[in-house]
Amino acid sequence: MGTWIKETDNAIYLMQGGYYLSKISKYPSKNNPEEKILNIRGIQSWFTRDDAPRGMTVSPGGEEPLPLPPPPPKSSVRRISDEGVFLIKSFEGLRLKAYQDAVGIWTIGYGTTQGVTPGMEITQTQAEQLLRRDVNKFEQAVQEALQVSINDNQFSALVSFTYNVGSGAFRSSTLLRLLNQNDIQGAADQFPRWNRAGGRILAGLTRR
């Protein structure tokens, strides 16, 4: 599959199949606020590829493209249930324009934070793609951290939990330690403790 270059108001992208492989951001000019500048040195490597770009599109006011998703996880990676994905969606809600969450992190879609910038807007289809990308990552994180056998509902609950708190917090949690000691009830009792953000109890986290 070939590559091409896309220019938007905020950046220049090396594109492939509708996603970008590389990005060079534009920055406001210090001398003229009406202009933006970028460092074109990074573009040189784009033309040393075997599939070097031969065309370019310019999209003033257009949507910023999404990064190329990671390859699908190997089939050995356990999957969250459809009900688990539905719960993540219901807890997170859908926002198609970037916003700051309770602790000031820029967020979009169904709670996606990676690569989100102020003013960013996406479509619902893109939100679904970002959700699947993030869920894949947390499915793998949960599977790698588990040392005991659990059922599908328990696995889905842990993926939803990790989607919210992050892989690092899950790996270092008392919840995981108790679960890996086969203390199922003790681990379950840990869930209500994760209802704070920025030191404040949030009703949405308590409900989750």
Which sequence positions are flagged as catalytic? 92
Q: Which structure tokens are listed for 135?
A: 């869920």
According to DSSP, the β-strands at 19-25 and 36-37 are: unpaired
Q: Which two tokens stand for residue 185?
A: 């009830």
Q: Where are the beta strands (DSSP E) in the chain?
A: 4-7, 11-16, 19-25, 27-28, 36-37, 56-58, 95-100, 106-109, 196-197, 200-201
Strands 19-25 and 106-109: unpaired
Contact (CB, 8 A) for 179 and 187: yes
Contacts of residue 101, defined as CB under 8 A and 6 or more positions apart, other chains included, come to 107, 113, 197
Could you give the count of Cα atoms lying within 13 Å of 47 in the half-sphere of its Cβ?
8
